[in-house]
Amino acid sequence: MSTHVVVNPATEETVTEVDSASVEQTDAAIERAAEAFPAWRDMAPGERARLLRRFAAVVDEHIDELAELEVRNAGHTWSNATWEAGNVRDVLNYYSAAPERLTGHQIPVAGGINVTFHEPLGVVGIIVPWNFPMPIAGWGFGPALAAGNTVVLKPAELTPLTAIRLGELGLEAGLPDGVFTVIPGKGSVVGERFVTHPAVRKVCFTGSTEVGKRIMAGCAEQVKRVTLELGGKSANIVFADSDLAKAAAAAPMAVFDNAGQDCCARSRILVEQSAYDEFVSLLEPAVKGIKVLDPADKSSEMGPLISADQRTTVQGFVDEVDVAFTGSAPDGNGFWFPPTVVLAESVDQRIWREEIFGPVVAVMPFRDEAEAVQLANDSEFGLSGSIYTGDVGRALRVSRAVEAGNLSVNTHSSVRYWTPFGGFKQSGLGRELGPDAPHSFTDVKNVFISNE
């Protein structure tokens, strides 16, 4: 059996080794999930709801343990890691209400009655990335389980520890064997088998657009349902009539949170020309004030990148441009990279067009509202973004005009578990979260009953 060495990105020290599942082990887990499906599907809605609430309660009892694992495994700051563990709890609680509310329709027809049912799909395969291992796992398995599906989940090779622990906590909470299974392993083995195994009826993938396209093509062979949450190159649009001090103070963590390893990162800042110089002058001290420390230090605001390879990738982008200013980063061991600001010179620069997935932001001026929208939309991605303005009409116009799935005005907070999340264009397909998420794990069955 092969293993993967889990490394603490803040120290480069080995945390542990994790066994990687083979194709045969993956098949066995999928088959157990398929065997567990009928009983889970047919369980009384109130009982399935009770087990999900119990799962949430057990997660709540282990928030600090899960957070400590994520600090060591993913290099997340303590504040982020505790929020992430709490998000799993909250998502489970939210979707625990779904089994008893997954109602269909009674549709008027002649000669009888017509009703619809939301029928669960079966086994759902969830492939989780390394940047937010806990929340993104919960965003998949919470609504999938609530809708009556069984779940097999593959964590990222770099960050498997919290997912493994969540799988254990699910069993501790009383989930029947095979209902929720975590399978660590390589994407080319476990993830690929999710795509090709006929018992897996849907795949949820969060990761790169390149891999997402391959998964979508593979799922097409079996007309298998798929949800994709892919890359982003989101714009933070700052108009001159906004509170510039507030906008500049908020901009750094909109991109540098989680060391920029966030598909929603506002990594392009567009500033109205008349306010550009003032905004940049306000941005510099805000960037330099970010506390980039060992994430085990509870005052840390930004931790390291996930790996040496990721640091090399980010450095490659920065080497191509002139840097305006940077924040600080620790010396010594760890995959550290300082918060970095670049004043973009052209929309053709790679640093402006491609997802960096690191703590680097490019700033560019625009002339008017029309050009701001044009520049924001000049991207193959469309996941998130922000608009800072004091004009309510402008906020509405620009929000409707920007091609992105999740926007926020005068804040960077646009993701909540009770509202839909997903992207336009090559940022993805389908939606996660919100009240309708369980529906995406069901098929609609129509039944006509004749009264003749």
- Contact between 354 and 233 under an 8 Å Cβ cutoff? The reply is yes
In angstroms, the CA 48 to CA 62 distance is 22
Q: What are phi and psi of 304, to 5 degrees?
A: -85, 170
d(CA 175, CA 93): 15
Catalytic residue among 70, 229, 272, 301: 229
| Ramachandran bin of 271, using left for φ above 0, alpha for ψ from -120 to 50, beta for the remaining angles | beta
Place of tokens 């399978």: 183
Tokens for 367, please give them: 């002339």
Secondary structure tally for the chain: helices H, strands E: 14, 20
3-state SS assignment for residue 113? strand
Q: List for the chain the helix, strand, coil content (%; round to 5).
A: 40, 20, 35
State the Cα–Cα distance between residues 82 and 79, nearest whole angstrom. Answer: 5
Cα 329 to Cα 301: distance, rounded to the nearest angstrom: 11
With CA atoms as reference, report the closest residue to 181 among 32, 6, 18, 318.
32
Contact 163, 190 (CB under 8 A): no
Rounded-to-integer distance, Cα 329 and Cα 335, Å: 10
Residue 424: CB atoms within 10 A of its CB come to 17
Residue with tokens 């500049």: 248
264 is catalytic: no
CB atoms under 10 Å from CB of 431, counted, come to 19
Helical pair 45-61 and 133-146, crossing angle rounded to 10 deg: 160
Distant-in-sequence, close-in-space partners of 332: CB < 8 Å, separation ≥ 6: none
Task: Reply yes or no on whether 229 is catalytic.
Answer: yes
Residue pair 230/427 in contact by the 8 Å Cβ criterion: yes
Residue ranges of the alpha helices (H) in 243-391? 244-256, 276-288, 308-318, 350-353, 369-377
Catalytic residue (choose from 204, 219, 263, 264): 263
Q: Please give the positions annotated as active site.
A: 229, 263
